Structure 1
Amino acid sequence: MTAVKELLLSRIRDVPDYPQPGVMFKDITPLLADPEAFSALTDALAELCVRHGATKVVGLEARGFILAAPVAVRAGLGFIPVRKAGKLPGATLSQTYDLEYGSAEIEVHAEDLAAGDRVMVIDDVLATGGTAGASLELIRRAGAETAGVAVLMELGFLGGRERLQGALSGAPLEALITI
């Protein structure tokens, strides 16, 4: 795993002062543009899905979609998008969560998750844990079980892992890279 981690880290670009002064943005677009690195990332995340017995993969809007869809295909699992409110047609389950300034809402189609499903949540970055926590609540409300959460990168200094412990209900949280 060390070689994969080094490859992934070498393709993540730091962008200082974006989106605001004092923030060091971690840009994954160079990683996505490199077929070797993107394939290694997809393989690593798909292996986590298989290891934890997932039957479906949830991708969080928007960058989580980019990762979760090929991971689901590679692992032989279905892909379920979790979208911002108002983006899905038909009956949905929705969950509100807090942001630094205000709140946001995400949704999933009500029929996409059910009892017996073991769901792996995939995203690019775990920061404060708000979106991941809301997705875990949607999975629970749908009657499905959380197989785990897997991210490319965890920003450990923001405390997202600690905030998610109760919502994970013992399911693993896996980060390929922790910063």
Structure 2
Amino acid sequence: MLDGWSQGTSLSDLLGLEHELSAGSSGAATEPVELTAEDFAELFPGGEVDLDSVQRAMTLGLVAFDEETGAVRVPNRAFLTIGRELGRRGVPAAASIEEYERLAGDTRRIADRFVALFERHVAGDDEDFDPAALTAEIRKFRELAALAVQDLLATALDEAAADAVTRRTDPDRGR
């Protein structure tokens, strides 16, 4: 960023680029949430907090505790909602956290591939650095990547669900 600024790039263009690089996780669904210890305990079946699951969630950055107030901070409202809904459907917290960890790894690998694609074919050379143009391209590439993953995941879920229904309703066909 400092190199761009020293070469005459405006600070607003550089800040726009910086904002775009962190914009992928913005929105009401990803806003942080603060819970009381009691509200947090209610997320677990019968209010019984699974300390191993809480420790793993802390390690993954899913929750943090304010030692002074006793409040529980959840950095991403969406994952709180997802975890709560999975729990209501009988998925244990440990299984939800394990799936989150695996999903985070999978999505990081997908993101790395899209970034490599972007760098190879879109980003251009360092001497052609234009923060405003790069910001627009990053925004569009993020949208395209999210759309591709969303569509492919929906299709894969439909196919996997159909296969699961077939296995459950017609054991001979499911083999």
Larger helix share, 1 or 2: 2
Of structures 1 and 2, the larger Rg is shown by 2
**Higher RCO, 1 vs 2 (CA within 8 Å, ≥6 residues apart):** 2
The answer, yes or no, to whether TM exceeds 0.5 is no
TM-score normalised over the length of structure 2: 0.21
